[in-house]
Chain A
């Protein structure tokens, strides 16, 4: 494991050994790229969804430097980005986390003129609109925390400024996952999560900032609460929401709560739970085990999230250049294709298309029936020929977003209420 400081040291010793010490100290000439990139290590951390070893391997092949990946849960990611700025070079975080982290000054803004595919990034991340007619959903929409005024900007800008906080990498529209073999009727609304029919067989995720949004979707669907903004609730709204769910918990509605991706997969696959909040690749993972599982589109719409990579404020020089190379490579298609074949969306779908078969592109992006078996990038069959993606095409799904994952002004209050809910 080579850290950057060690590389600098080795560079110096190497030069001295070569007898060029005098020259090097007199005129610090630009370094030779080819040799140096081999020694560069960028340390990336983030949630498990996109921190995949395959990506690190491909970086090594295509770009020549080493990418070290650490996968953590959302809470740990936030914690690390906020408290250990020197422990990473690249933070792979969600937009709502960015809202929390940016004020710490641990990340640096990125110059969009250095991003080759900037103009082809999906509108959601630039002006907030998927199509010119789109209505912007509630919550922390990515474009609202996507830009700052300048390289040292500390507050978010309302429009595209050329200085981006995060380069979008993946995003998706989340809904409830169900086991169609164990529920023999159609499920069309969020309020089914609290239906007494599923007592002891429901689950919700125990990550407060996301869980509260799922709760809000349910409460609104029940007709119990009408929110001003689900992504920024008032104390009364929070109290009422938590109260409804605490009553349900006491009545034994929930089998368990989950905090990590794997837990949600196991709960669903083992049949402990038949309806729960879930993430798209978790559905894929359940299906890969040969167990039917549907990512049920619901009338009220989706709860959406987006992730992006941010650069550590301490990155500079050669490592910073390498990080830009990495970002440009990230948007150039291979990763996008890799992620889209798992059910996520990439920031620049056009380039991802180049790395997907026509069948895959049709199934995952266009919502067309599969013409052949769809397999995951890891080789597991996910869908038979003729199957259609749950929720349909990209525009059907991302166009029906009801709210974005968010951090509220009353976040601390909400967290306390959430703790009470868990302890109830």
Chain B
């Protein structure tokens, strides 16, 4: 881009006085980027650097002290529990991702292609966001009385004669954890997919139909390839949210299951900040790797 901005004739010789217009342009570019860059530096880069530093510190019962030691990582990476917990975290992320993708895609598809007027599209889209007017935790906790042993779901099933005894696995199980995740995060899939779908040129669909493609063929060869960026953005949202979560797992599993977030929160609760930082660093690296792999599939910058 700088090449285009500077005509070759104006390229400054070493020691020559730079052309005034270029310099101003250069400066204003830096100035325009500065506010965002400084916000990110202070509120994102600095805290992450702090976490990395603290992850090498030592801790006693009640304090932490500067040090450079690998103990925190050593304990983390040699403990069988860590691997089990990371595996569990991936399991939650993968299953939640699959469900939110199918449900989110279907909803977005319906909104984008089956609802004809923009007014209705907006109205129905807003309808999808209504549950988000209350807090995350309230939406999650309201499942508990519903799914409980004597809850609404079980008493209905028993009275219909579907089951003889209340189903125990409805609550405080992996089922309830994933149900809550899907409920909480599907919208993060709907929004970006809907957004990309709305930008698909409708004449493409007509052309496909004119060329004799069936509905499924159109979906597979036209719609899905064109919504890939939306799917990828939704995927990144859902995967990072699920992998970083701790409160949903705690409440919905009745504290019986663990994911990485809970390991960190337990450590923090017990004042073991260095150990929590080390776990956080490992989690951060893992999530970055996952996103890196995801971005291999779709170049979001190019597609958007």
Contact = CB atoms under 8 A, between A and B. Distances in A.
Interface of A: 75-76, 78-79, 82-83, 100-101, 103-104, 200, 203, 206, 208, 249, 254-259, 266-267, 270-272, 407, 411-412, 415-416, 419-420, 422-424
Contact of B269 (A75, A101, A258, A271): A75
B62 interface: yes
From B88, B254, B258, residue with most partner A Cβ within 10 Å = B254
B105 interface: no
B245 to A, nearest CB: 15
Nearest to B258: A423
Given A257-B256, A270-B148, A101 B62 contact: yes
A206 B255 CA distance: 8
Interface stretch (B205-213, B218-226, B260-268): B260-268
A422 B262 contact: yes
Contacts of A411: 61
Contacts of A249: 256
Nearest to A82: B62
A101 B85 CA distance: 31
Contact of A419 (B62, B149, B263, B268): B263
Contact of B266 (A101, A412, A419, A424): A419
B32 to A, nearest CB: 39
Interface in B233-264: 250, 253-258, 262-263
Given A82-B271, A270-B149, A412 B255 contact: no
B194 interface: no
B148 A415 contact: no
B145 A422 contact: no
Interface in B75-124: 75, 79, 81, 84-85, 88
Nearest to B64: A83
B84 A256 contact: no
B63 interface: yes
A423 B85 contact: yes
A257 B250 CA distance: 9
Contacts of A415: 266, 270, 272
Interface of B: 61-63, 75, 79, 81, 84-85, 88, 144-145, 148-151, 168, 171-172, 250, 253-258, 262-263, 266-272
Q: At the interface, is chain A mostly helix, strand, loop or mixed?
A: helix
A255 B266 CA distance: 20
Contacts of A271: 148-150
Report, nearest first, the 3 A-B pairs whose CB atoms are least far apart: A256-B254, A75-B269, A257-B255
15 contacts: A75-B270, A76-B269, A78-B271, A79-B269, A256-B255, A259-B250, A270-B149, A415-B272, A416-B79, A419-B263, A419-B266, A422-B256, A423-B81, A423-B84, A423-B257
Contacts of B63: 82, 104
A266 B150 CA distance: 12
B254 A257 contact: yes
Given A255-B254, A407-B61, A420-B81, A83 B271 contact: yes
Given A423-B81, A423-B258, A79 B148 contact: no
Contacts of B255: 206, 256-259, 422
Contacts of A407: 61
A293 to B, nearest CB: 16
Contacts of B172: 255-256, 272
From A82, A208, A411, A422, residue with most partner B Cβ within 10 Å = A422
Contacts of B266: 415, 419, 422
Given A200-B168, A259-B255, A270 B62 contact: no
A195 B106 CA distance: 48
A238 to B, nearest CB: 15
B103 to A, nearest CB: 27
